[in-house]
Amino acid sequence: MEIERRQGAEVPGGHALLGLALADGGAHARPHKITVSMYGASPETAYALTKTKSAFKNTYAGLVAAAEAELPVEVTIIITKHNIEELDEMRALVRDLGFPFKEFGSISPTYTGSGSTLDSQTPGYLDKSAIFQGCLAGHTSFHVDPHGNATMCKVGRENPLHLITEGPEALLRLPEIADAQMLRTGGCSGCKLSSTCRVCRPMAKVYQAAKAPLSYYCQHGNKEES
Ligand code: SF4
């Protein structure tokens, strides 16, 4: 979940934070936006990804309460191999609650804290149409995993900052850490197509480490599709 005030913090298992916002009623520090990820339209599909039995029930209950409290929620529907059959149902659930939503098929949640970014992807839903225009991750938003490690986002997880031991001041180092990860280094070094690339460098790096087919993410793989 991501709460945007001056900086955004994206925290897995965010229904707990949604609960905090609901308890506060928005009376003292009403957030500009609360982003809640949806992983399924049923307990079974949400469990398949999160391995948490109450994941769907608690998240949906939080969303219903947020709708009643008129909190500024936006839902991100995370499309994975576990829930692709329920995509229309997820859209309908969110529409019925009256919340705006976005859909993401290029990233996967990282509940384990391991390098499992690609494990749940559904290749047919990877967006390769838009040229990557830059990203403010690490500057105006950040991600925190369940162990307190802050990184620029779910994908770019180099040099994590441990907020529990270092405190929030450590976040001042995050912009520099993020900028370093955005350079077209490693497998993208010297690429003449980088100005029209469809993916950010952290995402390309994850694909390259996983030895994914170039056609999934890279313009050099266009021939693989034909
Ligand atoms: S087109 Fe391929 S090699 Fe070039 S920057 Fe993008 S991902 Fe890297």
Q: Side chain identity at 133, as an amino acid letter?
A: Q
Does residue 60 fall inside a structural domain? yes
Beta strands in 52-183 (DSSP E): 73-78, 101-104, 141-144, 149-151, 161-162
Q: Tell me the mean pLDDT in the region 78-101.
A: 91
Whether residue 135 has pLDDT greater than 50: yes
Letter string b/e over residues 86-98, b meaning 16 or more CB atoms within 10 A of that residue's CB: bbeebbebbeebe
Residue of 19, 1, 14 whose CA lies nearest to 141:
1
List residues near ligand 1 (CB under 6 A).
184, 188, 191, 193-194, 197, 199, 204, 217-220
- pTM > 0.75: no
Let me know: does 53 contact 43? Beta carbons within 8 Å: yes
Does residue 215 fall inside a structural domain? no
Residue of 96, 113, 116 whose CA lies nearest to 41:
96
- The pLDDT, as a whole number, for residue 209 is 87
Q: Tell me the mean pLDDT in the region 170-174.
A: 95
Does residue 39 fall inside a structural domain? yes
**Tokens of residue 128, six digits:** 């390769």
**Domain coverage including residue 127:** 2-182
- The pLDDT, as a whole number, for residue 18 is 58
Whether residue 5 has pLDDT greater than 50: no
Distance in Å, CA 154 to ligand 1 centroid: 20
Whether residue 20 has pLDDT greater than 60: no
Distance in Å, CA 123 to ligand 1 centroid: 18
Does residue 190 fall inside a structural domain? no
Does residue 218 fall inside a structural domain? no
- The pLDDT, as a whole number, for residue 9 is 47
Does residue 119 fall inside a structural domain? yes
- How many domains is the chain built from? 1
Distance in Å, CA 190 to ligand 1 centroid: 9
Does residue 187 fall inside a structural domain? no
- The residue whose CA has the least distance to atom 6 of ligand 1 is 197
Instruction: Looking at the CA of residue 221, tell me the nearest atom of ligand 1.
Output: 2
